[in-house]
Amino acid sequence: MGSGRRIMIGAAPDEADVWQALVAEHGTPLLVFDPAVLERQYHRLSNALPGVELHYAVKAHPNEHIVRTLDALGCGFDVASAGEMDLLMDLKISGRRTIHTHPIKKDREIRDALRFGATTFVVDNLDELAKLVPYRERIGILLRISFRSESATVDLSRKFGCAIGEVAGIVAAAGKLGLHIKGLSFHAGSQCEHAGQHVEAIARCRQLMVDIGKSTSVPLSTLDIGGGFPADYRLTGIDIDAWCGPLRKALADLPGDWHLLAEPGRYLVAPSVTSITTVTGKSERHGVTWYYLDDGIYGSYSGQIFDHTVYPLQILKTGETRRSILAGPTCDSIDIIAEDVQLPELGIGDLVIGHQMGAYTAATKTRFNSLPDARLVCRESPS
């Protein structure tokens, strides 16, 4: 997943009118957030995973409109930093609806999270356990396990997660320290092609939790299955209900009283944000037409570097195509969004639309060249 880019040439007149009107009102670079799409994604994933409490991974796109929309739906939140908690606090969201999932924390961050009201923390080693001892009366702990992710675009188990063989020892050490490990967590990797890794991880966690439960007075009864639910970057129409089918089956094998959590980021927000950027200049270089846009790799398209993702693009014009390059606005030559693509001739002022751009896009933008950020505006729902 992730390689191979869809480029759509042309648009229905009413669709083009919508983008043009937004640009007339707000200018570019622009990110257009559609709350109705986010709501749809939330309902689809909730329905595909009955009994699983969803906590939006705020890191995917820490934006107030996105957080507000999910808050109104009753979604929980997965936070990993004081900055992410500040965003929720500003929006008056209770820390009780959050889990703190960063396995490595400073003492200051733990205290900030407790003040905020978070009571669930994630660890993956003994040094992190020791940091939580002063707060043991107020917290429950999830122990994160590493499951390497071959089918995912982003492997999140290289850097974090203990080995399966370490689990019993860490749980026993926690018991001696008076810490309550209430369950296990994992992240099967981001943008998983299929749910195979989730299924395997659930089965391994089930066995571990059942085995440990036999030898402890405080059984493990929470399982957090992380994120990994895919966005549809190739616009093939991913059916999340079908994708989650094997996962539902694996979850159905767990004891009915276990508390199940997930931390989706990408699946929820990716399709809810569209980028609009303008051609600000062009040149002919060695037989190729270069178009210079007002957003690029150092801005909203930063996910092409950090997230290994290529986004579906749309050109509103039609016509005979030619070899073209879409480049971003900075002075750096790696700032190229799409190389060697066939596009109709564009003029200065024409728009380039980027789809599925809600996750790990604005979240990883930089301020290189001190260029303005893309502004995020909400698209009104049709009445």
Q: Of 266 and 355, which has the nearer Cβ to ligand PLP?
A: 266
Does residue 263 bind ligand PLP (CB under 6 A)? yes
Q: What is the CA radius of gyration of the chain?
A: 22
Q: Of 2 and 226, which has the nearer Cβ to ligand PLP?
A: 226
Q: Which residues of 136-173 are buried (b: 16+ CB within 10 A; e: fewer)?
A: eeebbbbbbbbbebebbbbbbbeebbbebebbeebbee
Candidates 209, 168, 203, 210; CA nearest to 188 is: 203
Does residue 2 bind ligand PLP (CB under 6 A)? no
User: Closest approach of Cβ 57 to ligand PLP, in Å?
Assistant: 4
CA contacts within 13 A on the Cβ side of 144: 28
Q: Which stretch binds ligand PLP (CB under 6 A): 105-113, 264-272, 277-285, 317-325?
A: 264-272
Q: How many CB atoms lie within 10 A of CB 127?
A: 9
Does residue 193 bind ligand PLP (CB under 6 A)? no
Q: Of 291 and 360, which has the nearer Cβ to ligand PLP?
A: 360
**The one among 105, 266, 282, 365 contacting ligand PLP by CB under 6 A:** 266
Site residues (CB under 6 A) for ligand PLP, limited to 283-342: none
Does residue 228 bind ligand PLP (CB under 6 A)? yes
DSSP string of 172-227? HHHHHTT--EEEEEE---EEESSSHHHHHHHHHHHHHHHHHHHT-SS---EEE---
Does residue 224 bind ligand PLP (CB under 6 A)? no
Does residue 183 bind ligand PLP (CB under 6 A)? no
Does residue 58 bind ligand PLP (CB under 6 A)? no
Q: What is the dihedral of CA 367, 373, 374, 379, to 10 degrees?
A: 130
Q: Of 38 and 293, which has the nearer Cβ to ligand PLP?
A: 38
User: Closest approach of Cβ 360 to ligand PLP, in Å?
Assistant: 7
Angle of CA points 343, 344, 350, to nearest 5°: 100
Distances (CA, A) of 368 to 29, 310, 363: 15, 21, 15
Does residue 264 bind ligand PLP (CB under 6 A)? yes
Does residue 34 bind ligand PLP (CB under 6 A)? no
244 is catalytic: no
Distance separating alpha carbons of residues 79 and 77, to the nearest angstrom = 6
Q: Which stretch binds ligand PLP (CB under 6 A): 81-89, 209-217, 233-241, 259-267?
A: 259-267
- Of 162, 244, 331, 378, the active-site residue reads 331
Catalytic residues: 331
Site of interaction with ligand PLP (CB under 6 A): 57, 59-60, 78, 101, 156, 187, 190, 226-229, 263-267, 359
